[in-house]
Amino acid sequence: MGNGIIIIPTFNEIENIERIVRNVFSQRRKFHILIVDDNSPDGTATRVRTLMAEFPETLFLEERLGKQGLGTAYIHGFKWALKKNYDFIFEMDADFSHNPNDLIRLYNACKRDGNDVAIGSRYITGVNVINWPMNRVLMSWLASRYVRFITGMDIQDTTAGYVCYKSEVLKAINLDRIQFVGYAFQIEMKFKSYLKGFKIIEVPVIFTDRTRGTSKMSGSIISEAVFGVIKMKLKSLFNRKKF
C-alpha cells in the first residue's frame, strides 16, 4: 500500500482522464489515484475501468449516481482514503490546470517539512495563472482577498483546489458537517483546518486553464461562495465547539 493518494473528481473528462492518470503514474514518486466520477455521460468511468486493468493495485474508481458537486465528491473520496489508511491525501483536478509535476513538492512540504496542509498556491509569487481571461483572473484573485478579509486566514490562495492533506487533518474535521458543495468547499476545508490549528503552508504553483473538455463553473457556485463565506465565519464565532 502506497502512503499517498491523489483524489481526482471527474465529470465529463474523457479528453483528459487517460493522460492525467498516465502522467501521475509516470512521476518519480509513486502515488495511488482515486477517481470519483459522477456518472459522466461521456463515459469517463468506462475509460477508467479499462485503465484499471493496466494499474490494478494503484488506480481506483468510485462511481456516484449523478452530478452532485465537487465538494461532495471530495468528501466521498476523503472517507474512502481514510478507511484505506493513506497518510497523505491530495486534491487535484483532471484538466491539467494542476501540473502533476508539482505533486512531489506538495508531498515534501508535508512529509519532509512537517506541515499538515500544503496548498498549491497561485498567488504567493505574483499571479501565476496561464490562459485565463483577465476577468476570471481578477475574479479569482479578488475572491481570495475577500475570503482572507472575512475569515482572517493568513492564506493567499484561499480557493485553491490543489492541496495535500495529512490524514490527521481530515480525521479531525467533521466531514459530515461540511456545508458547501461547489467551489466554496475549498474555502471551507482550509478554514476548518485553520480553526483546528493545523500547520498550513503555501507552495507556489503555476495554474494553467484547461485546454480540453468543458468547464463546470456556474453562477450558483459563485453566489454560494460570496454569501456562504460570511455565514461560515459567523457560525464559527457563535458555534466554536462544533468545528
Ligand X SMILES: Nc1nc2c(ncn2[C@@H]2O[C@H](COP(=O)(O)OP(=O)(O)OP(=O)(O)O)[C@@H](O)[C@H]2O)c(=O)[nH]1
The count of residues in the chain is 243
In the list ligand X, Mg ion, none, the entry touching 216 (Cβ below 5 to 8 angstroms by class) is ligand X
- Which of residues 95, 116, 157, 224 is near Mg ion by CB under 5 A? 95
14-45: string of b/e by CB count within 10 Å (b at 16+)?
Answer: bbbbeebbeebbeeeeebbbbbbbbebebebb
Q: What is the CA radius of gyration of the chain?
A: 17
- Is residue 19 near ligand X by the rule CB under 6 A? no
- DSSP letter string over 221-238? HHHHHHHHHHHHHHHHHH
Query: 184 with 224: CB under 8 angstroms?
Result: yes
The C-alpha atoms of residue 149 and residue 132 are separated, in whole angstroms, by: 24
- Which of residues 48, 51, 86, 97 is near ligand X by CB under 6 A? 97
Q: Count interface residues toward Mg ion (CB under 5 A).
A: 4
- Is residue 188 near Mg ion by the rule CB under 5 A? no
- Which of residues 7, 34, 94, 173 is near ligand X by CB under 6 A? 94
Stretch that binds ligand X, among 61-69, 79-87, 172-180, 233-241 (CB under 6 A): 61-69
- Is residue 102 near ligand X by the rule CB under 6 A? no
| Cα separations in angstroms, 168 against 7, 45, 78, 94 | 17, 30, 11, 25
- Which of residues 34, 51, 90, 95 is near ligand X by CB under 6 A? 95
**Helix H or strand E segment including 82:** helix 70-83
- C-beta closer to Mg ion: residue 37 or 93: 93
- Is residue 158 near ligand X by the rule CB under 6 A? no
Q: Count interface residues toward ligand X (CB under 6 A).
A: 21
Least distance to ligand X from the beta carbon of 44, Å?
8
- Is residue 9 near ligand X by the rule CB under 6 A? yes
- Is residue 45 near ligand X by the rule CB under 6 A? no
Query: 44 with 17: CB under 8 angstroms?
Result: yes
- C-beta closer to ligand X: residue 165 or 198: 165
Grid coordinates of 157: 490562495
Binding interface with ligand X (CB under 6 A): 9-11, 13, 36-38, 67-70, 73, 93-95, 97, 209-210, 215-217
